[in-house]
A and B are shown apart, each in its own frame.
Chain A
Amino acid sequence: MNRTLTAIKEWINPNWATHMSIPPMERGLRPNSRLDHAHALLTPGDYEPEDLLVLDSGAIWFSSGTAIQELKDGNVRTVAELGGPVGTLTKLNSDIVAAVEGRGLVSVSASESVSQLCSDTSVATCVTDLTALPDGSLLASVGSTEYGIDGWGRALVHHDRSGRLVQVDGQHAQVRAEGLGWPAGMEADPDGEVLVSLSLDHRIERRAADSLDGAARPMLTNLPLYPGRISLGDNGWWVAGPYVRNRITALLLDEPELLGEMVATINPDEWFIPRLRSENPYTDPLQMGQLRTLGVVKPWAPPRSYGVAFRIDRGKRISESVHSRVDGKCHGITRVTAHGTQVIAAAQGFRSLVEIEEE
Chain B
Amino acid sequence: MFGIATRGVDAFPLTGRGWRDRLTPLQGISDVIGKRWMEGAVPLVLAAVLTTGVVFMTPVGATDAPLIMDEVAEKSLLAIGLTLVMVAGGIDLSIGSIVGCSSLAALTAFRVWGWPMEVVIPAAVILGAMLGAINGVLIAKMKMRPFITTLVTLVAFGGAAEALQSRYTNQLAFPKSDILWDFLGEGAIAGIPTAWAIFGIVLVVAHIGLTRSRWGWWVTAVGSDRRSARRNGIPVDRVVFLTYVLSGALAGLAGLLTAARLGRTDPAVGEGWELIALTAVVIGGVSLKGGRGSVVRAVAGMVVVAVILQASIAFTLEAGGYTAILALVLFSFAILDLKWGKYRLRIAEKLTIDPGRISVGPLVDVTEPGTVWSINSKLTDAPPIGLGTIEGAEDCALDDEGNLFCGDRRGWIWRFSGPDHTNGEVFARTGGMPLGHAWDRDGVLMVAVGGMGVYRVFPDGETKLVANQVRRSLTSLHDDSALRFADDLDTAPDGSIYVSDFSTRTNAAEYMVELVEYRPNGRIVRIDPDGSTDVVVSNYVFPNGICTSHDGQSILIASTGLFRVDRLWISGSKQGQFEPVMENLPGYCDNINRASDGNYWMSFIAMRTPMSDLLMKYPAVRRRMTREVPQDNWLVPQLNVSCVLKFDDQGNVLKVFWDKSLENYPMVTSINEHAGHLYLCGLLNNRVGRLQLDPEDVGDIDPRLVPGTTGRSLPFSEVAR
Contacts and interface: CB of A to CB of B under 8 A. Distances in A.
Nearest to B516: A288
Interface string B152-186: 00000000000000000000000000000000000
B632 A288 contact: yes
Interface in A228-249: 246-248
B612 interface: yes
A280 interface: yes
B275 interface: no
A355 to B, nearest CB: 28
Most interface-central of B609, B638, B666 (chain A CB within 10 A): B609
Interface in A284-333: 284-295, 297, 301-302
Interface stretch (A98-106, A140-148, A211-219, A253-261): A253-261
A272 B610 CA distance: 10
Contacts of B375: 282
Contacts of A291: 639-640, 667, 684
B628 A285 contact: no
Contacts of A266: 610-611, 614
- Give the interface size class of chain B: 35 or more
A20 interface: yes
Contacts of B666: 292
Contact of A295 (B607, B635, B685): B685
A270 interface: yes
A287 B611 CA distance: 12
A262 B615 CA distance: 9
Nearest to A283: B609
Nearest to B515: A288
Contact of B633 (A248, A282, A283, A295): A248
A287 B612 CA distance: 11
B434 interface: no
A284 B663 CA distance: 16
Given A247-B633, A294-B686, A295-B687, A272 B662 contact: no
A76 interface: no
Contacts of A251: 621, 624-625, 628-629
Contacts of B663: 292, 295
A285 B612 CA distance: 6
A293 B684 contact: yes
B367 A295 contact: no
Given A20-B628, A270-B609, A294 B614 contact: no
A271 interface: yes
A257 B617 CA distance: 11
A293 B628 CA distance: 24
Nearest to B586: A282
B366 interface: yes
A254 to B, nearest CB: 9
Contacts of A285: 609, 611-612, 615, 635-638
A301 B639 CA distance: 14
Contact of B684 (A287, A294, A302): A294
A359 to B, nearest CB: 29
Most interface-central of A251, A266, A295, A297 (chain B CB within 10 A): A295
B618 interface: yes
A312 B638 CA distance: 37
A282 B637 contact: no
Most interface-central of B611, B630, B684 (chain A CB within 10 A): B611
A286 B629 contact: no
Contacts of B578: none
Interface in B660-677: 662-663, 666-667
Contact of A290 (B392, B625, B640): B640
B610 A267 contact: yes
A297 B684 CA distance: 11
Contact of A292 (B633, B662, B687): B662
A284 B633 contact: no
Interface string A9-30: 0000000000010000000000
Contacts of B618: 255, 257-258
B640 A272 contact: no
Nearest to B392: A294
Nearest to B609: A285
Contacts of B624: 251, 255
A36 to B, nearest CB: 17
A265 interface: yes
B659 to A, nearest CB: 11
Nearest to A298: B632
Contacts of B633: 246-248, 287-289, 302
A334 to B, nearest CB: 25
B636 A255 contact: no
B646 to A, nearest CB: 20
Interface in B589-637: 606-607, 609-612, 614-615, 617-618, 621, 624-625, 628-637
Contact of B641 (A272, A282, A293): A282
A287 B667 contact: no
A286 B637 contact: yes
Contacts of A302: 632-633
B31 interface: no
Contact of B638 (A255, A257, A281, A294): A281
Contacts of B610: 265-267, 270, 283
Contacts of A287: 632-636
A262 B611 CA distance: 8
Given A258-B618, A270-B610, A281 B641 contact: yes
B640 A286 contact: yes
A282 B607 contact: yes
Contacts of A301: 632
A281 B392 contact: no
Nearest to A297: B640
Nearest to B630: A247
A248 B625 CA distance: 8
Most interface-central of B512, B629, B635 (chain A CB within 10 A): B635
A272 B663 CA distance: 23
Nearest to A265: B614
Given A258-B617, A271-B611, 7 more contacts: A252-B621, A257-B618, A266-B614, A282-B638, A285-B635, A285-B636, A288-B632
Interface of B: 365-367, 375, 391-392, 512, 606-607, 609-612, 614-615, 617-618, 621, 624-625, 628-641, 662-663, 666-667, 684-687
20 contacts: A20-B628, A248-B633, A248-B634, A251-B624, A252-B621, A255-B618, A258-B618, A262-B611, A265-B614, A266-B611, A281-B640, A286-B635, A286-B637, A288-B632, A292-B640, A292-B666, A292-B684, A294-B684, A301-B632, A302-B632
Closest 7 CB pairs of A and B: A289-B632, A294-B686, A292-B666, A285-B612, A285-B611, A288-B634, A285-B609
